[in-house]
Amino acid sequence: MAGLAHQMAIGFANVTADIVEASEFPELSQAYGVSAVPKTVINDKVEFTGAVPEEAFLAAIQQALGIQPEPGDEDGEES
């Protein structure tokens, strides 16, 4: 997900992405409750642990932004 996040940060001026080595920043890891990696946190609103498909990552971004999925897209599949 880090690659996709960085691609979005390059493509959109209002998007930033940071990758943090949890063992090198224990205070930050503790603040975000990192117990496994990768852990993704979006706008301090949505978080998940582990690798997820790109569609799930994009759905998490929409959730963090308060954007509702298009009708028929609730399962992540295109109509």
pLDDT digits (tens, 9 = 90+) for 11-63: 999 999 999 999 999 999 999 999 988 999 999 999 999 999 999 999 999 99
- How would DSSP label each residue in 30-50? HHTT-SSSSEEEETTTEEEES
Q: How far apart are CA 44 and CA 32, in angstroms?
A: 9
pLDDT score for 68:
87
In a domain? residue 9: no
* C-alpha of 57 from chain center: 6
Q: How far apart are CA 60 and CA 40, in angstroms?
A: 10
Contact 9, 62 (CB under 8 A): no
Domain that holds residue 57: 22-69
CATH of the domain at 48: 3.40.30.10
